[in-house]
Every structure is written in structure tokens, then in C-alpha cells.
Structure 1
Amino acid sequence: MQHRTAVSTVVSALCGVLALALPAQAASADQAGHIIVFGHRGASAYAPENTLSSVEQAAELGVDWVENDVQRTRDGRLVVIHDTTLDRTTNVKERYPDRAPWSVSSFSLAEIKQLDAGSWFGPDFRGERVPTLEEYLDLLDDTGQGLLLELKQPELYPGIERQTLEVLARADWLDLPHLSGRLVVQSFSAPALRTTHRLRPDVHTGFLGNPPVSQLKQYAAFTDEINAEQHSVTAAYVKAVHGMKGAHGEPMHINTWTVDNAPAATKLARMGVDGIITDRPDLIAIATRPRTSQPS
């Protein structure tokens, strides 16, 4: 059992009282008019980002989808971490002071597993480790959450698209239940998404960014979602995205990031976005509750 903070316990209790139930499947959620709340790097306002504790915290908050970032170690293992360097979220400077700039790709998995990935966030998380993608997927199968998986700077890791799909396949994450409502692969790299779509056309994909309306048809050939930065989203842009059919023949979705305050979430919900990616999924779930609440 991972450590919990006092703040997270209070927040979890609040969400339990409110009984916020997020949708399990992206497609059905959109059809029902729900806002999907994605825990950005887990519940990263309450636990160290991209760790197993962050996933567990998101699960305690009732969050059905989490977002993560995947990169590759020197010895070819996939790990869940956001930055391409280890210094911000681990104690790598203290443990390996002579190996600047501490790139993920210059360390073996065994070396990375020796790092403390929790103390920077708070003493309750001392000893937290950087998880492998396999460990992350195993935990999500325990919690039942869906995964918005980002290929982080895939140009640094040739072949990571195929390797990620192979790991997903070995973990049974490319079966119908996962493909139909628990997995989306996203990236800022259009070439990486094209490759992913070519290798596994049945995997749903999302492009991180806001391509101009004139180019949406090109993106719709290989992706199902446009996941745009919040300040670039307008009601007209949402309508334009929804007007396109994505790679799987359904209207494209639009999710937005990283939204951590209630007024912004409410505004985006009124514009018609399908999902909101946030460090504070409890707050955003409450802010969007009028749209996501179920009839009594």
C-alpha cells in the first residue's frame, strides 16, 4: 500500500459524499453528454506525478481515466516519467552527481529503480520509484482505470511506437475490452501517431495540439481525438473538431489540458469539450458536475 497525504484523505472523503461516478468508456460518455475527467499524470496535485501512488490516489478520488508519459531507458525498457531528464522528479543529482544532464535514455532500468521519485513531492512519499510501463498497466488493471498514454518525444526513441504496442499486447491491453473503452495513445508527434495507427489500426489515438481547422481532415485520417491546450480552445474550434469523423469513423473528440481551476473547467464544458485533463480531478469533477450528474 502506498503512502497517502492528509490532504488527499480529506478530498477523497469529499468525493465519496458527492458520489461522483465518471464514465468508463469514452464513446458512451460523449454520447451521454458527459465530461470525462482525466487525472494528469495520475492525481498529481496530491501525489508525485506518474507514480503508482498517483494512480492509486486518482482511483481513491473516483477518477476513471489517468494520463501518463512513456520513455525508454538505456537498456531498452519503457518507464513512466514526464521529463526527458531525471533531475526534477528524482534524487538523481545526489546519487549520480557526475552524470549530467541525467537523461532518461542514459540510465539503465536498474539504475533508475534506485532513485527516489517521491521525496521531492513530500516526505510521505519517500522511496517512491519510477514505474515501468508494465507495472503501471498491472496497477490499472487492479483499479479498472482507463489510460491516456503519451509517447513522450518519440523522436528520441526510434521504434518506441512498436515497442509500446508490444508491451501493451503482452499485458493484454490490446484486447477488445481495453481497445473499446480503456486505452488512447496520444502524442505531440503526428508521425508517431501515423506509425501507431499503421501498426495497430484498432488502437484509438489522440493528437496533442491544435491543428488549424483547414488541416483537421488530414489528422482525422490517423487519429480520433484532438487534445488541445486550454487557451487555444474556442466553441467554434470544438464544433469544427466534432464535425470531423476520425480514424474509426466516429465524430472526433476534443479534450483539453491542463485545467486546474473551476471557472475555466465550467467555461470549457459549456463550449462542448469531451474531456478535461487536470492535476486536480476532484475539483474539476465537481465543477463539471451539472453536465455529468445522473438523473435521480
Structure 2
Amino acid sequence: MHARAVTALTTALLGTAALLLPATDVRAVEDGTPPTVVAHRAGAAYAPENTLAAIDRAARIGAVWVENDVQRTRDGELVVLHDDSLQRTTDVERVFPGRAPWKVKDFTAAEIARLDAGSWFGAAYAGARVPTLQQYVRRVDLHRQKLLLELKNPELYPGIEREALKLLGNEGWLDGRHRSRLIVQSFSAASLRTVHDLRPGVKTGFLGTPSVAQLPTYAAFADQINPAYTSVSRAYVSAVHAFTGPHDKPLEVFAWTVDTADAARRVAGYGVDGIITDKPDVVRDALRG
């Protein structure tokens, strides 16, 4: 923990205003770098979320970082989908009408490959498919983008951490060239701890807002604390930054999901290190302005 940790902790725990910082981007003030902008589900406002089409669209608008969600099929294929059900973002009800509640884990990869994952968003995307994680990381690599990979619902898929890391390793994403382009995040502290134990070199982020008193525990295996932006404050960000993560750097804060220019400027003023958004161009332009 950094030397300023005691002060930051005292402030956050007692609720004083002593460490409230000016309404500027603290990180930018310190090192001249604005917050990293991450395209949530590869830019869910502009293309069907978590599809290859969304990655392509994100690349066209200049999004350097994309975020995705990983689930596992009945036969062990890792696929990119936010929900643990196929119902919301595919035509699974029409193709497989008798198999409610249409959980990803109850379908094979071949069955999922038959589904239309784009028409719900718009006719222009009719025929888009649910990508496998292999297809997804290859497309991200094609565009030379960076990846914030979320292990979704890991409690439903025992061993998914090892399987995801194996696939990433096979695709070259764990070598020195790619490692700076990858972060693995999850709402599950146990899952992140497993990732860190299996591959200590991989950068990790915990999704949530643990109390300041809990931060020393998370700092043992997480490089980031990634809360909903509505739960962020300057004092909290400062307290998180006071801790050193497993790679001997201050913990970072990536806030989600920020979709307006005003919210982006406000959250940047708290000193966050990254902003996750469905509209990366809107946030990027707001921060530049």
C-alpha cells in the first residue's frame, strides 16, 4: 500500500471531505493521460452486442478497447454472449421453440451457430452469429484492438477460468506482445483469484464496489476495481488508488456504463482510469473537449 493510503483510508471511512479533489481529471493532472475508453460489449449502442459486426463497427469509429462477455456451451465451447440465456439477443425461441428457458449451457455450439444474433438489433445485421471466443479474439487481433474480457456467471461453468486462459494462450494472447492488451474481469472474486493463481501475469479487474476496508483483500489478486459509475466518488477513487495491486502498481478504477458526455466528464473528474461505454465515440469526444 502507498504511503498516502492511511490518509485516504481515514477519509473514506470517516466520510470527511479532506481528500475531495478539484473537479478535474486527477489522472490526467498526474500523468497527462485521459481515462481509457472501452467499448462495452464492443459498442452496444451501434451494433448487435458482442458480435463480430460490433467489433468491426467499434474499429471504424476508432475504439481501441472492446469489452465482451464469455459463457460456455453444453459441449464445452466458449462463446461470447452477455446473458446466460439466448432469448434476448437471438431467434432461439423460433428455432428451438420447445427448449425454454434457452440457457446457453443447455445448447451445443453447433446449435448456437444456427441462431440469428443480429436481426433483433436491425435488419442490416440479419444473419449475424453468436461468435465463439476464438473467433472473437481473432477479430479483435485483426483490428489490433485491446480486450477487456468478462467471465460471465462463472459459477454456472466450473473450470471456465482455466479453459479461457488456455484458449487465450493458444491464440497468443498471453505472450509478451499481447499481455498489455488484455484484462480479465468478473463480478466473482473467487473467479478472479483463480485467474490470478493460474496466470499471475494477467491483469485482472473486479466488477463491483467493495468497501475501503475490503480493498486490501482485493489488492492481492485484482489490478482494478471496476464499479458502476453511479457508485463512484472522488474520495472512493482516491482510496482505491492508494492501494498497490499484485503487479506492484496502484489499483485502477474503470467505471461502467457511461453513455453521455456530461456523465463522462463528471466521472473523469473523479480521477478514474477508464470508462466503459456503449458509445465510445461520445465519451472520447467529451473527454477531448
Q: Normalization by structure 2: what TM-score?
A: 0.89
| Aligned equivalent of 1:281 | 280
What letter corresponds to residue 122 of structure 1 in structure 2?
G
Question: Are 1:242 and 2:230 an aligned pair?
Answer: no
| Aligned equivalent of 1:107 | 107
Alpha-carbon displacement from aligned partner over 1:128-159 (angstroms, at most 9, x marks no partner): 00000000011111101100000001000000
Mapping of 1:250-269 within 5 angstroms? 250-269=249-268
What letter corresponds to residue 286 of structure 2 in structure 1?
A
What letter corresponds to residue 57 of structure 2 in structure 1?
Q
How big is the shift at 1:229? 0.3
How big is the shift at 1:58? 0.6
What letter corresponds to residue 245 of structure 1 in structure 2?
T
Mapping of 1:1-296 within 5 angstroms? 31-179=31-179, 181-290=180-289
The runs of 4+ residues in structure 1 deviating greater than 4 Å are none
Specify the SS of the correspondent of 1:134: helix
Higher relative contact order (CA 8 A, sep 6+): 2
Specify the SS of the correspondent of 2:253: strand
Alpha-carbon displacement from aligned partner over 1:179-226 (angstroms, at most 9, x marks no partner): 1x2000000000000000000000000000010011111100001001
Alignment RMSD: 1.3
What letter corresponds to residue 60 of structure 1 in structure 2?
R
Following the alignment from structure 2 to structure 1, what is the Cα–Cα distance between the partners of residues 247 and 31?
A: 16
How big is the shift at 1:31? 4.3
Larger Rg: 2
Alpha-carbon displacement from aligned partner over 1:259-293 (angstroms, at most 9, x marks no partner): 10111110011110011000000100011114xxx
Following the alignment from structure 1 to structure 2, what is the Cα–Cα distance between the partners of residues 44 and 159?
A: 28
Q: Normalization by structure 1: what TM-score?
A: 0.87
Count of residues paired in the alignment = 262
Following the alignment from structure 1 to structure 2, what is the Cα–Cα distance between the partners of residues 123 and 33?
A: 39
| Aligned equivalent of 1:19 | none
How big is the shift at 1:241? 0.8
How big is the shift at 1:36? 0.6
Specify the SS of the correspondent of 2:249: coil
Following the alignment from structure 1 to structure 2, what is the Cα–Cα distance between the partners of residues 228 and 177?
A: 28
Following the alignment from structure 2 to structure 1, what is the Cα–Cα distance between the partners of residues 32 and 91?
A: 45
| Aligned equivalent of 2:19 | none
Specify the SS of the correspondent of 1:185: strand
